[in-house]
A and B are shown apart, each in its own frame.
Chain A
Amino acid sequence: MNPHLLTILIFLPLAAATSMLLVPSAKKAAYKYMALTTGLLQLVLSGAMYHLFHPKGAGITDERLYQFVDHVPWIRLDMGSLGRLEIDYFIGVDGLSMPFLFLTSLVMLIAIGASWHVQKRVKGYFILLMVLDMAVMGVFSALDFFLFYIFYELMLLPLYFLIGIWGGARREYAAIKFFLYTLFGSVFMLLIIVGLYFSVINPETGAHTFNMLHMMDAANYVPDSLFSAIAQRELFGMPARLLGFIVLFIAFAIKVPIVPLHTWLPDAHVEAPTPVSIILAGILLKIGGYGILRVCLSIFPDAALQSAWWLGLIGVVSITYGALVALAQRDLKRMIAYSSVSHMGFVLLGIASLTAAGTAGAVFQMISHGFLSAALFFLVGMLYDRVHDRDIYHFRGLASLMPRFTVFVAIAFFASLGLPGFSAFIGEAFVIIGAFNAESIHGLLPRWMAISGSVGILLSAAYFLWTLQRMFFGQPRLKGGVEWAAALSDASPRETLIMVPMLALAFLLGIYPALALDNINASVLALVELVTGN
């Protein structure tokens, strides 16, 4: 087994992007095929890694329990009285990140497939896509906080341009909104990172370190430092560790997104081109959830325990609020965007439950939502490509015109609303079961939260079915009349080729969740143990 497999996986897209730079701009087709090749290679690579991954050995705080680890000193700088700067190129995979790596490579491939007909500045587009790919992979595998932050910020840049250049009518507004929102979170994150850096010492070298795994161990904190659990320092009148947790949580929660901070999402999703919407919904939102698990919970377990109730509340509010707003939407893409808010609320609820079932359910829900939201946005994109309209009331009876498309939509809708047999069901059901168990296990979440969360399942059925009824059933009646009817051809072979694997995967995970859960489980158990102590 090549020890640098993970590095290859991360930087493969960068290599592709570099070679794309060398290809003259006139050869538009070359870029697509290069990107496709990269995507396929990545998929194969991450698939192989997924296969090689050993589920039992995964843990959270111990480097030995990570797999595919690449740990090289990167920046060593003597800073005089401030000690030595120790930044490592430190990447590795555990049960939390492995599924996301696979998800990323798959969704990226889908996105590349969805970009097949991009006409505008093809070269720049695919290069940005590749850079984004690299950054996302890096975020999911970085174990050095500094490295993590670099990848995290690097991710923003291509997205900003992808939305801002290739987006819809209000693309600039959306791009800037998205950028500022995320930057708002990450800037404060940087402060906490620096604070952590000065609080934590590498037990082997005695230098301050950015190593996340060291940050997770309370013994590595300088006794009187800002974030030391023993020192109980206060900052702005609140415990410093709690503050650190909250700031990091907000940074990631913006990505998730949680309800008061969600308004970038509908705009960004609606204005972004279809492939970027797919990436946004399929991967980007997951970075928020992953960050909360990997960073907030692991580094500040005590603060996480204190705030679990609030996290759960935010989750519940997101679930119901997102679902209700989705119910009122006229724009199909916007409706799906709000449904993402609702579905990601389940993730938060599951994380807040701090039970193995709830947290594993949350991770599973993220993966499932990755496939399904990608599929949903792709489907909306198909419709939009044909008639450049997305208003729900402008369509009626599409089932008669586009039967295969309708089948896809119906499957995706039902899978999203939690029909058993599809992955979302397992995720949502176990989030609710976990949230329910929380009271009897450690009493962090009251049971009414689980019950309110389940109302979200009901509402999601309401808006999805209502949309299905309004747009797809009934006698065909289109705003654009005959012209539209002619334009609305059924799903093409390319589109079918993209849709089928995604829906098949959602189905496969739904009937055999062990495929993902086996890998997730050990890490989730370790995480829950780290936080709750049992």
Chain B
Amino acid sequence: MPAYTLTYPLLAALSAVLLPFAAFLLTAVLGKKAKHGTISIVAISLSLLAAGYAFTQVWGNTPIHIQWHWFTIGRHAFHVGLLLDNMAVLMLVLVCLIALPVHCYSIAYMRGDPGIHRYWAYLSLFCFAMLGLVVADNLLLMYICWELVGFASYLLIGFWYTRDAAVQANKKAFIVNRIGDIGFLLGIAILHSSFGTLDIQALFGPQGLLTAPMGADTPAIAAEGTITSGWLTVAGLAFFLGTMAKSAQFPLHVWLPDAMEGPTSVSSLIHAATMVAAGVFLLARVFPIFDDTTLLVITTTGTVTAFAAAYFALAQYDIKKILAFSTISQLGFMMVGIGIGMYHVALFHLVTHAFFKCLLFLSAGAIIHGMQHAKEKHQLDIDPQDIRHMGGLRRHMPLTFTTMLIASLALAGFPFTAGYLSKDALLVHAFEWAALHGEAAIAIPLVLVIVSILTSFYIFRLLAKVFFARPSVLANNDIHIHEASRWMLAPMAFLAFCSLFPIFTFHPLNDGQVWLLHGLVAEAPTLPPLRPLHILVPALATAATLVMATLAWRWYVNGHYPIRTKGVLYRLSERQGYLNELYDAIIVRPLLKLSLLLLWIDHHVVDGAINGMATAGRSLAGIAAWIDYHLVDGLIRLVGNLAWGAGHVLRRSQTGRVQQYVALVFFIVLVILLYHIFAQA
């Protein structure tokens, strides 16, 4: 039973959630007076402190649950509440921990923007929604926050609303996310109709309705409180649909690259570290619902996503797009982690990824910032995000280079970084899982290995092109790209530290000792370990990373570039698999055509029928009027006309000629006489 007393950890978590909301309201009300962003920063700092306190209280202990009655609909009561378990507090801290540096970074990065007060408000709104999402104790509340983060993301992507690309992108993001939201909502509907509750603990907790008997064994006809296996699968897929949109899984990932139109700081927080990871978090939350079919779907989708995104990243020139695809690819990894049942590993990867991907974005932001300044200063006609215009920046921005290098190594899974721990753990577990699931399943870990090799390649390509290659546009020595300011560098440094191994384990090469995994593993299933792989896979991965680094150096720094840019594979990668064009052709345009058709039908057929009826009625009335005028009234007028006509005719007899009168008189006398004669006869 949930507790109803507000203990300190709960209070802390609640304030951690509500502080950003307060900041949002305050900033929104103050409007332009809140340009400096102090309110938001203070709020998120306090949130971090509160979250940290909650973390220390809850981590490793029994979950704390509190709920208040919210409303009743029919006979079902709905509650609003907090559920603080290991997963929740971990995410709570993580979100705050990422959000705070990004806030600080934003001070410098967004300085001078005319709409910055909106920026702070949106950012606080996002933090509120995201924090609410992780501590929500029931699926409805979670759904609400889920949509709200999408909304905040919409606002932030379209922050520069006068740019067409930005507003197209935010619309796309919201609509694609809506597809996922519908999945989520349907999942909720299925669970609610089967179990009558949406409480996470009641459903998925240790003694939850779904945890004890797995779906496959339930009887075909479900009684109250149970669910048929068919609908269980559907529910799992519905939740996964929600995740696919939010966590940008293939083929619903298309919004994420476009979302890079938002400010880079936003991309780092929302579209790299936290919001997109919410899908993974959701899957981990509802994990007991997934049966084997769903899990297989998740695994496959994750693998495909990981591969496709890595492939698309290869030929991108926009620095942020490369990172965006990298994010998608890593999210695919996490999905595989969920799919193979090791959701604690997936969460671990989520955490490490959050740090290094955020750092990558922030570093990219620093570079873009520098390029933008150079562009404005020297009136250059360049896209500040295009890596072809960069090169040799290592000398201009050494500190940025350092942080970026650390993050890249973490992404590539180099030893001594956090990425190494989580990613290689995932790979190893994937192999272990494949061993249990037959021959065909081996394809999945193999693809993942290829993906991690590709990952190493594209990230080193990025590094090589940006920092080492011969400067192209910047060849002119007068142009100087300034190093990022202190407000930007400090958060980057912090995140760089977090991207290294020490905060997770003291043993840099062994993921088995990560405290974070120990905290989560209690609730997660385990796979039979294959010991040799724990040595072999990391070693091979590291070797591959080194090979790729060399390759990238040779190709991009030394100029031995072997690939034709006109090749089909290359273009497929550059154009992101032509997915956008495909969607446009098979979904968007037919839909618009359909809507125009329906409009036409509405106007001409439906309304036409009505108007036709009206016209018919009027014609009928017209006919009646005609009949009335010409026949009914006509009869009357005929009598009149007859009288008039007769008069007119008789009038002719009034000639004024006496003789005619006399003739008439005699004629009439004649007639009378004749009558008499014949009457007598």
Contact = CB atoms under 8 A, between A and B. Distances in A.
A79 to B, nearest CB: 35
A420 B147 contact: yes
Given A397-B162, A419-B151, A451-B186, A458 B193 contact: no
B302 interface: no
A327 B72 contact: no
A390 interface: no
A30 B33 CA distance: 41
Contacts of A524: 74
B186 A450 contact: yes
B144 to A, nearest CB: 4
A465 B182 contact: no
Interface in B184-206: 185-186, 188-190, 192-194
B641 interface: no
B4 interface: no
Nearest to A55: B72
Interface residues of A, number: 63
Interface stretch (A18-26, A35-43, A126-134, A428-436): A428-436
Contacts of A457: 178, 181-182, 185
Given A263-B610, A436-B190, A356 B71 contact: no
Given A399-B161, A440-B193, A419 B71 contact: no
Contacts of B188: 429, 433
Contacts of B74: 355-357, 360, 434, 521, 524-525, 528
Interface string A261-272: 011100000000
A118 interface: no
B186 A437 contact: no
B75 A525 contact: yes
B594 to A, nearest CB: 6
Interface string B264-297: 0000000000000000000000000000000000
Residues of A contacting B: mostly:
helix
A512 interface: yes
B592 interface: yes
B592 A328 contact: yes
Contacts of A513: 70-71, 73
B591 interface: yes
A432 B71 contact: no
Give chain B's interface residue range (CB within 8 Å of chain A): 35 or more
A321 interface: yes
A481 interface: no
A436 B186 contact: yes
A224 interface: no
A436 B594 contact: no
A257 to B, nearest CB: 11
A260 interface: yes
A400 B614 CA distance: 46
Contact of A469 (B76, B167, B181): B167
Interface in B101-145: 140, 143-145
A429 B143 CA distance: 10
A525 to B, nearest CB: 6
B478 interface: no
Contacts of A440: 193-194, 222
A512 B72 CA distance: 11
Interface string B384-401: 000000000000000000
Contacts of A528: 74
B606 A474 contact: no
Contact of B182 (A421, A430, A454): A454
Contact of A432 (B140, B164, B185, B599): B185
A469 B168 contact: yes
A308 to B, nearest CB: 16
A324 B182 contact: no
A310 B527 CA distance: 51
A517 interface: yes
Most chain A beta-carbon contacts within 10 A, residue among B69, B70, B595? B595
A466 interface: yes
Given A420-B148, A454-B186, A474-B162, A324 B73 contact: no
A437 B188 CA distance: 11
B594 A324 contact: yes
15 contacts: A263-B610, A325-B595, A325-B602, A328-B596, A329-B599, A360-B74, A399-B161, A420-B145, A461-B174, A461-B175, A469-B171, A472-B161, A473-B161, A525-B74, A525-B75
Interface of A: 177, 180-181, 259-260, 262-264, 321, 324-329, 355-357, 360-361, 397, 399-400, 414, 419-421, 425, 429-430, 432-434, 436-437, 439-441, 450-451, 454-455, 457-458, 461-462, 465-466, 468-469, 472-475, 512-514, 517-518, 521, 524-525, 528
Given A263-B606, A432-B189, A513-B70, 11 more contacts: A260-B606, A263-B610, A425-B144, A429-B143, A450-B186, A454-B185, A454-B186, A457-B185, A469-B171, A473-B158, A518-B72
